[in-house]
């Protein structure tokens, strides 16, 4: 009797699973808010140098503002002295003399009609300091990376629920502290710690959802979490539109985690994890609790420690006392899974954040493009969910990544004057990448066995955060090599889509509970394939033998 059969005995997809999954998915709404928050809190409004003549209006005293080579007011230089003669149409620029300019030594004047305040306007992250804006996002992603490495491993060691509760607490406190950061350095530190927390509760939620859901419902459950994340992207645009001050916006998306912390006591630890970490008594208690909630109390009472251990004896005999990240590369099949998934996670995240964090360059309202980028995820994820359910995980992931890469590459050859076409292609690419994320999240949890599932998912998330760190840095190269970012954002998912085809298919396959089970499945498939290839050859030999006789 497998653990999946015990899960069916206590109710399968019953009331407990529905309530548990619903409570776990609510915080996912705010995952998108924190990941994409800097599109609004670090938005760059129109600006120019503060004028020495005392002009504070952005459009006033233009006789003191030099023009750049495109004929637009210069953002980072000003005239050393007033050049009022430039307003005379019959005048010349200083009668052929050179007009001296200087840096914005008195600061900048910002257009506050759209954004009341951002970290850019508060700490003047423009001109020579403009790279700090992208650096802040990379620091946040570095926090998510560290969280995936640290909290993912701790969760496999101490349990899913304790690390999930801790992550809620850390996100609530650090997110709120970010809203009151006195300077840019403190802001980056608090954002780094918020990133760690986000990674922790994201991984915890994924494992608790998957490990309590019967095999046939896993695709739908993960799809729902993906739709909730998409909903969070759309809600972020609405909240940001209503709250134009970055501090209050930061607080608005952080304070709800105090509520999540309050009801997290109701979450139930994974019985799979309890059983495979020699906590059979607690596993029985948890299964009986689930049976009571599902109205299967009598069936739950039949489960005892002895029955659980005897039926799971084979799985328990192969479980080590402790697992480390080295177990991800110790055996050949798991090592291949680890390498392929690392590339897929990195590439999907790298291209996704390359598009999603560059909304101001699309030439339309940042709030509108945020809504469009969020809305496209719904049809993309519906198609991906149907494909995963009928065609399989491997083909779906590969197709989404390759299509995303082709669309992004195609955008290079579209004229910048065709802004609508360029935006449409970017939206399609972003939708494909979102669908790929949804697929690979489920795919990863199904490929890794229970003892290292959180560690494997954590390392996959780590590679995704590496991609998220590199993406803003790649965007910075646009000033010197305009073609390089789109080429990189397109080539990465195309290459990873081809690599994804080397992963084993998991459609309608029960979750593996041990590393040995993963290795055995691969060996069985190889043996069956070789047998099928040998049978026609044997039949052919018989025919040749008869003809010879």
The reported pLDDT for the residue numbered 175 is: 93
Closest among 295, 219, 300 to 6, alpha carbons compared: 300
Q: How many helices (H) and strands (E) does the chain have?
A: 24, 4
Please name the residues in contact with 173: beta carbons below 8 A apart, sequence gap of 6 or more: none
Distance, in Å, from the CA atom of 102 to the CA atom of 79, rounded to the nearest integer, reads 6
Q: Which residues of 502-541 are buried (b: 16+ CB within 10 A; e: fewer)?
A: ebbebbeeebbbbbbbbbeebeeeeeeeeeeeeeeeeeee
Tokens encoding 274? 């309890």
The reported pLDDT for the residue numbered 188 is: 93
Query: Is residue 332 included in any domain, yes or no?
Result: yes
Query: Is residue 447 included in any domain, yes or no?
Result: yes
Residue 76 is classified by DSSP as: S
Q: Whose structure tokens read 């480390």?
A: 324
The reported pLDDT for the residue numbered 182 is: 92
Number of domains in the chain: 1
Residues in the chain: 549
For the chain, 549 residues long, give each residue's pLDDT as a single digit of tens. 566 777 777 777 888 888 888 888 889 988 888 888 888 888 888 877 777 554 444 444 555 566 666 666 777 777 766 555 554 545 444 444 456 777 777 778 888 888 888 898 889 888 878 778 888 888 998 888 888 778 777 777 788 888 888 999 999 999 999 999 999 999 999 999 999 999 888 888 888 887 788 877 877 887 788 788 888 888 988 999 889 899 999 999 999 999 999 888 888 888 777 877 778 788 888 888 888 888 888 877 877 777 777 766 666 665 555 566 777 888 888 899 999 999 999 999 898 888 877 766 666 678 888 888 888 888 888 898 889 888 988 999 999 999 999 988 888 888 777 778 888 888 898 889 988 988 888 888 888 887 788 778 778 877 887 888 888 778 777 767 777 888 888 999 999 999 999 988 888 888 787 888 888 877 766 555 555 545 554 554 554 444 444
Query: Is residue 144 included in any domain, yes or no?
Result: yes
Please name the residues in contact with 258: beta carbons below 8 A apart, sequence gap of 6 or more: 172
Distance, in Å, from the CA atom of 235 to the CA atom of 84, rounded to the nearest integer, reads 48
Query: Is residue 245 included in any domain, yes or no?
Result: yes
Report whether 393 contacts 439 (CB < 8 A): yes
Residue 303's domain comprises 3-43+125-502
The enclosing domain of 253 has a CATH number of 1.20.1250.20
Distance, in Å, from the CA atom of 130 to the CA atom of 112, rounded to the nearest integer, reads 18
Query: Is residue 277 included in any domain, yes or no?
Result: yes
Query: Is residue 185 included in any domain, yes or no?
Result: yes
- pTM of the predicted model over 0.85: no
Query: Is residue 87 included in any domain, yes or no?
Result: no
What is the bridge-based pairing of β-strands 77-79 and 101-103? antiparallel
**Which segments of 357-392 does DSSP mark as H helices, in order?**
366-375, 377-390
Query: Is residue 92 included in any domain, yes or no?
Result: no
The reported pLDDT for the residue numbered 56 is: 47
């Amino acid at each position: 009797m497998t653990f999946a059969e015990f899960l069916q005995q206590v109710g399968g997809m019953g009331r407990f699973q529905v309530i548990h999954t619903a409570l776990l998915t609510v915080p996912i709404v705010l995952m998108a808010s924190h990941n994409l928050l800097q599109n609004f809190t670090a938005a760059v409004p129109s600006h120019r140098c503060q004028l020495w003549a005392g002009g504070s209006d952005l459009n006033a005293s233009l006789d003191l503002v030099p023009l750049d080579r495109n004929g637009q007011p210069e953002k980072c230089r000003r005239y050393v002295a007033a050049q009022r003669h430039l307003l005379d149409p019959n005048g010349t620029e200083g009668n052929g003399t050179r007009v001296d300019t200087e840096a914005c030594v008195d600061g900048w004047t910002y257009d506050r009609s759209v954004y009341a305040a951002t970290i850019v306007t508060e700490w003047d992250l423009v001109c020579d300091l403009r790279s700090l804006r992208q650096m802040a996002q990379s620091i946040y992603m570095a926090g998510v990376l560290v969280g995936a490495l640290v909290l993912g491993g701790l969760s496999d060691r101490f349990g899913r629920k304790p690390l999930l509760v801790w992550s809620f607490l850390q996100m609530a406190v650090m997110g709120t502290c970010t809203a009151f950061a006195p300077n840019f350095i403190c802001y980056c530190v608090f954002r780094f710690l918020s990133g760690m927390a986000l990674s922790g509760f994201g991984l915890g939620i994924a494992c608790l959802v998957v490990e309590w859901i019967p095999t046939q419902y896993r695709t739908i459950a993960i799809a729902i979490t993906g739709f909730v994340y998409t909903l969070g992207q759309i809600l972020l645009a609405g909240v940001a539109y209503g709250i134009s001050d970055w501090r209050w916006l930061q607080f608005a998306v952080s304070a709800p985690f105090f509520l999540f912390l309050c009801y997290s006591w109701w979450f139930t630890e994974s019985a799979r994890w309890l059983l495979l970490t020699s906590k059979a008594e607690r596993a029985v208690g948890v299964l009986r609790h689930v049976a009571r909630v599902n109205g299967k109390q009598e069936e739950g009472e039949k489960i005892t420690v002895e029955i659980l251990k005897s039926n799971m004896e084979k799985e328990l005999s192969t479980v080590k006392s402790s697992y480390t990240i080295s177990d991800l590369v110790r055996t050949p099949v798991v090592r291949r899974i680890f390498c392929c998934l690392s590339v897929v996670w990195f590439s999907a995240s790298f291209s996704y954040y390359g598009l999603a964090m560059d909304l101001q360059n699309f030439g339309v309202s940042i709030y509108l493009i945020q809504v469009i980028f969020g809305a496209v995820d719904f049809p993309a994820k519906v198609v991906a969910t149907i494909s995963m359910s009928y065609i399989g995980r491997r083909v779906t992931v590969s197709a989404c990544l390759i299509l995303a890469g082709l669309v992004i590459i195609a955008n290079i050859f579209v004229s910048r004057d065709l802004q609508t076409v360029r935006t449409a292609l970017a939206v399609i690419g972003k939708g494909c990448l979102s669908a790929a994320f949804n697929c690979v999240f489920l795919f990863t949890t199904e490929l890794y066995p229970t003892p290292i599932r959180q560690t494997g998912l954590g390392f996959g998330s780590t590679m995704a955060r590496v991609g998220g760190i590199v993406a803003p840095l790649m965007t910075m190269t646009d000033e010197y090599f305009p073609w390089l970012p789109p080429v990189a954002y397109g080539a990465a998912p195309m290459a990873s889509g081809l690599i994804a085809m080397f992963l084993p298919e998991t459609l309608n396959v029960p979750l593996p509970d041990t590393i040995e089970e993963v290795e055995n499945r691969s060996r069985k498939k190889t043996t069956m394939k070789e047998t099928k290839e040998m049978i026609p050859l044997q039949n052919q030999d018989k025919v040749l033998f008869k003809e010879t006789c």
